[in-house]
Amino acid sequence: MITAAAQEREHYLNASYGLKSWLLTKDHKRIGLLYLATITLFFFIGGAFATLIRVELLTPQGDLVSSETYNKLFTMHGVMMIFFFLIPSIPAVLGNFFLPMMIGARDLAFPKLNLLSWYLLVVGGLFSLYAMLAGGVDTGWTFYTPYSTTYSNGYVIATALGIFIAGFSSILTGLNFIVTIHRMRAPGMTWFRMPLFVWAHYATSLIQVLGTPVLAVTIVLLFLERVFHLGIFDPARGGDPVLFQHLFWFYSHPAVYIMVLPSMGVVSEIISTFSRKAIFGYRIVAFSSVAIAVLGFLVWGHHLFVSGQSLYAGMVFSFLSYFVAIPSAIKVFNWTATLYKGSISFQTPMLYALGFIGLFTIGGLTGLFVAALGIDIHVTDTYFVVAHFHYIMVGGALMGYLGGMHFWWPKMTGRMYPEGWAKLSALVIFLGFNLTFFPQFILGYLGMPRRYHVYPPEFQVLNVLSTAGASVLAVGYMIPMIYFIWSLRYGKEAPANPWGATGLEWQTSSPPPVHNFEETPVVTHGAYDYASLMAEEAEVG
Amino acid sequence: MGKFQLFPVQASTLAPEVDHLLYFLLAVTVFFTVLIFGAIFYFAIKYRRRSENELPHVQHTGYTLEILWSVIPFGITMVMFTWGASIFFTASKPPNNAIQIYAVGKQWMWKLEHLEGQREINELHIPVNTPVRLTMASEDVIHSFFVPAFRTKQDVVPGRYSTTWFTATKPGKYHLFCAEYCGTNHSGMIGWVYAMEPMDYQNWLSGGAAEGSMAETGKKLFEQLACNNCHKEDNSGRGPNLVGVFGKQVQLAGGGVVTADEAYFRESILQPQAKIVSGFEPVMPTFQGLVTEEQLVQLVEYVKSLGPKPGTGPVDNGQKPAPKKSSNAGSTPANR
């Protein structure tokens, strides 16, 4: 019950004012919002590049931009979206904000390190962005050698240096989460009482801490070869170009799970809340996150089936890739089973979560196609792969991110977003996404290679469909941007627990007080115990 | 706008095999998609929240369902794995009766050369119903030789030979793409494969203004570069006699053997010190930067043409006639 007195209640947003109070904050919630602003900016920049790509591809000729510019566009799109939007997205914004709250902690284990990791992302992102806009890079986000070391004239090293810097942001965030989960759980918060969002972030953090250093090393080697002409990757200097691909994908394949695991965590929270039921097979879903993180490190070679790695290496990597499909399949089945005999309501977060399952299922199942050696020969480096990974990384990761944003927006800001508009935008995004990327599966199987500025005219119909979808998608992304900002001032005031969710973050006021909880919570039951929650609420009155 | 199609034409022996696997995968994935989406829609409607205070009571014990929906999908994926791997295995092993063609990728064109000496740029003429083996090299960055109608793709990595093969089944004109991003004009590195009736192919071969076969061109080069000063056919040179060496096991100085294949010849020209034949001094200078990939394949083809001549005696000091490993015969450097 909000009274005039309660409205003046101190919380993390009004406890202090001024630029300094934000730029030097050690509050994980404020740092989460700093990340939110940063990655939203990077997302719209990356989106602008995507728009130009899609408009160029309306016609088979290269008539909007030159080939050189087109190559820079898809490079910048990939670099911005992957390294500066998707990898930080859920962990840095929602994880930062809610992971401590969900385990009943006052903050992350290392608040100053947390602030440092935000600065690293900002510096890295702006550095890469400047390098790409000033000089341009045309290597693709994959930086394959020897093109990137010897033949490209762009600002390869400057761009890669930005990624190198941002990598430390990722490592420090992962480290912070791991220590926090181990050391800062509230009394009674045992490992198997933790929300699945926390489990997913634990698994993600393992990848960030173990995988990202390999990317850093790879970038250093790239630097040594490009600047000092050491023969590491360039065969003309005695190097091996395929070695680069091994090193690059050793990080960049697990990086896909950095993007999608947190999203799976979000979806678990949402499905449970809006079905008012514990996640079916909680422990299996928790362990499947860890299994994905571990197995994800063993499958990088499936990016190299036609690159000239040995026949038998290809077979081993294909075999292992099918292993990693199983924990993902388990999650999808278990979410579906959670709905069984639930009490299901369809607010916006739930629409996004169901949308996630739909798109992730298609993305995951098409992963079975590219993992099959015989089919991968044909579809690798075509639009089939482009469609596949967008279904995982946009359909999966981004739908989860938007679902989570809607789910926790009331907690973060103390305001409700407008439900009608939000449902509409969820629908628009879902339809726009499918119209954009489904035709690309067909395009790819027909043989249209990726990264083609000019293409044969028989591919035009499908490209026009895809571009039409992209414009729908662009509108879909603009709507939440507008109403989220609108709601900060005009949105209904949010109660502490608008969804009837069980997580600890909902047991404190919206927006939360500076130290999250008035007193340290004591946990007495599992993560999704709706019966106890409703009994407590009935008692309170 | 061009004509609209859903599936690419099948124009090689591999194409229907790949497509059959695709159909199987489509069937499986459509089944599971319908199953999952159907269940979600059904549950969503049947179990929609009817009152605000409703509390579902469902006990979930045991792991029977989870085991079921891990084991069954795993079994199905193993079928996919085995099927896919067997296609890949076939696609990676060129048959011994394949005709040999060389390809060199460079920014941004494909150069092709037939053994008979015909050279083409961004066009490849081949006979149908005949296995064709392509040995490929790159002058600069990684390229990828991709013919969608044949369902074949192979990266062409600089510094080594890559191999692919196919048997065209239908005369026609098919897209050739570079599938690995290779710089500014990547999307212009395209061409056509012309599959022809064998008779037409023979006519085409004899019609061109070839300057002699690849081996002949290679021989001229061999003499121009003065290779023949040391690699003499009577075993008197400072370098090994190359007659009949191709495909044999060669004993190396300091132990070890190597199969004398295209990759070994290429390496020995560019990095002569890498693997010295037993009994010889490391005196050969490198030809790195002096010969192009195109010239290299001509030299290689010349050395290959120096088949074993009866009665010429031992061709290699210290060589024992080792049994050929069958899996390596006709194998390609990229596949070892």
Contact flag A374-B85 (C-beta cutoff 8 Å): yes
Give just the sign of the alpha carbon dihedral A506, A512, A518, A521: positive
Q: How far apart are CA A184 and CA A187, in angstroms?
A: 9
Q: Where are the domains of chain B?
A: 8-46+59-210, 214-324
Q: pLDDT: is B301 or A479 the higher one?
A: A479
Mapping DSSP to helix (H, G, I), strand (E, B) and coil, where does residue B99 land? strand
- Are A360 and B32 a contacting pair, CB within 8 Å? no
- What span, in angstroms and rounded, lies between the C-alpha atoms of B137 and A188? 64
CA distance B2 to chain A (A): 4
In this complex, do A147 and B65 lie within 8 Å of one another by their Cβ atoms?
A: no
What CATH class does B8-46+59-210 carry? mainly beta
Find, in chain A, the residue whose alpha carbon is nearest to that of B177: A449
Closest CA to B2 of A458, A288, A352: A458
- Domain ranges, residue A480: 30-531
Per-residue pLDDT at B174 exceeds 50: yes
Six-digit token string for B240:
């090994």
Tell me what percent of chain A is helix, strand and coil, each rounded to the nearest 5.
70, 0, 25
Q: Is residue A536 part of a domain?
A: no
CATH number at residue A371: 1.20.210.10
Cis peptide leading into A146, omega within 30 of 0?
A: yes
Using CB atoms and an 8 Å cut-off, which of residues 434-493 of chain A contact chain B? Answer: 442, 445-447, 449-462, 464
- pLDDT tier at A235 (50, 70, 90 boundaries)? confident
Least reliable range by pLDDT among A244-253, A287-296, A309-318, B323-332: B323-332
> Which tokens belong to A317?
């990597």
User: Within a domain: residue A5?
Assistant: no
Residue of B nearest to A304 (CA): B155
- Of the residues A56, A65, A156, A343, the best mutation for testing chain B's interface (the one with the most B CB atoms within 10 Å of its CB) is A343
Give the 3-state secondary structure of A485-536.
HHHHHHCCECCCCCCCCCCHHHCCCCCCCCCCCCCCCCCCCCCCCHHHHHHH
Q: Which of B14, B57, B173, B181 to mutate to test the interface with A (most CBs of A within 10 A)?
A: B181
Average pLDDT of the residues in A44-51? 96
DSSP state of A398: I
- Provide the pLDDT for residue B102: 96
Identify the closest residue of chain A to B45 by CA–CA distance. Answer: A344
- Residue A228 or B310, more confident: A228
What are the strands, taking DSSP E only, across A340-410? none
Whole-angstrom distance, CA of residue A169 vs CA of residue A121: 6
pLDDT at A101 over 60: yes
Distance from CA of A271 to the nearest CA of B (A): 11
What's the confidence (pLDDT) of residue B308? 61
Q: Are A220 and A275 in contact (CB under 8 A)?
A: no
In angstroms, the CA A37 to CA A361 distance is: 30
Does the structure's ipTM exceed the value 0.95? no
The stretch A102-109 carries a mean pLDDT of 96
Asked whether residue A123 is assigned to any structural domain, the reply reads yes
Q: Which of B47, B88, B107 sits opposite A373 (nearest CB)?
A: B88
Chain A CB contacts of B74 below 8 Å? 322, 326
Contacts of A474 (CB under 8 A, 6+ apart): A47, A51, A432
List A residues 40-99 in contact with B (Cβ-Cβ < 8 A): 62, 67-68, 71
One-letter amino acid at B285 equals P
Residue A444: which of A390, A398, A394, A393 has the closest Cα? A390
| CATH T-level topology, domain B214-324 | Cytochrome Bc1 Complex; Chain D, domain 2 (1.10.760)
pLDDT bucket at A109, cuts 50 / 70 / 90 = very high
- Out of A67, A373, A378, the one facing B85 most closely (by C-beta) is A373
Closest Cα in chain A, distance from residue B167 (Å): 15
Q: For chain A, what's the residue count?
A: 541
Q: Which residues of A touch B13 (CB under 8 A)?
A: none
Q: Which residues of B touch A455 (CB under 8 A)?
A: 187
Of B37, B149, B153, the CB nearest to A377: B153
Q: How far apart are CA A373 and CA A376, in angstroms?
A: 5
What mean pLDDT, rounded, does chain B reach? 87
Per-residue HEC secondary structure of A333-359 comes to HHHHHHHCCCCECCCHHHHHHHHHHHH
pLDDT in tens, B254-305: 888 999 988 899 989 998 888 899 888 888 988 988 899 989 999 998 998 8
Residues 6 or more apart in contact with residue B62 via CB below 8 angstroms: none
Amino acid in the structure at residue A298: L
Interface test with A, best of B3, B14, B33, B43 (most A CBs within 10 A): B43
Q: How far apart are CA A360 and CA A335, in angstroms?
A: 12
pLDDT band at residue A147 using 50, 70 and 90 as cut-offs: very high
Per-residue pLDDT of B225-249, as tens digits, reads 989 888 988 888 888 888 888 888 8
**pLDDT tens column, A498-541:** 999 999 999 999 999 999 998 999 999 889 999 888 887 777 65
Question: For residue A194, what are its two tokens?
Answer: 């933790």
Sequence letter at residue A63: D
Q: In what order do the strands lie in the sheet with B131-138?
A: B119-121, B109-114, B99-106, B131-138, B162-167
Q: What is the pLDDT of residues B34-73, one digit of tens each?
A: 999 999 999 999 999 998 888 887 776 778 888 998 999 9
A315 contacts on B by Cβ (under 8 Å)? 85, 88
Residue A537 pLDDT? 74
| Long-range CB pairs of B284-287, under 8 A, 24+ apart, other chains included | B284/B230, B284/B239, B287/B225
Q: Å from A97 to nearest chain B CA?
A: 29
**CB neighbourhood size of B290 (10 A):** 11
Could you check whether the bond before residue A511 is cis, i.e. omega within 30 degrees of 0? yes
d(CA B94, CA B332): 8
| Tokens read off for B314 | 């031992």
Name every chain B residue with its beta carbon within 8 A of the beta carbon of A365: 29, 32-33
Which tens digit of pLDDT belongs to each residue from B105-140? Answer: 999 999 999 998 899 999 999 999 999 999 999 999
Q: If you average pLDDT over residues A364-386, what whole number do you get? A: 96
Residue B24, pLDDT score: 97
pLDDT confidence band for A153 (50 / 70 / 90)? confident
Q: Looking at the complex, does the CB of residue A322 fall below 8 Å from at least one CB of chain B? A: yes
Looking at the DSSP bridge assignments, the partners of residue B336 are none
pTM of the model: 0.92
What confidence tens digit (pLDDT) does each residue in A258-298 have?
999 999 999 999 999 999 999 999 999 999 999 999 999 99
The mean of the pLDDT values for chain A is: 94
Residues whose CB is less than 8 angstroms from the CB of residue A287 and which lie 6 or more positions away in sequence, other chains included: A327
* A85–chain B nearest CA distance, Å: 24
From chain B, the residues in CB contact with A284 under 8 A are: 63, 66
Question: Which of A344, A351, A359, A464 should one mutate to test binding to chain B, selecting the residue with the greatest count of B CBs within 10 A?
Answer: A344
Helix (H, G, I), strand (E, B) or coil at A222: helix
Rounded distance between C-alpha atoms, residue A459 and residue B5, angstroms: 9
Task: Express each pLDDT in B255-268 by its tens digit.
Answer: 889 999 888 999 89
Q: Which two tokens stand for residue B146?
A: 């991709």
Q: Is the pLDDT of residue B161 over 80?
A: yes
Closest CA to A498 of A348, A337, A282: A348
pLDDT band of A1, cuts 50, 70, 90: very low
Query: Would you say residue A2 has pLDDT above 90?
Result: no
Give the count of domains, chain A: 1
Please indicate whether residue B215 or residue A122 has the higher confidence score (pLDDT). A122
Angle at B28 between CA B26 and CA B32, to 5 degrees: 115
Tens digits of residue pLDDT in B309-334 = 443 334 343 333 444 333 333 333 33
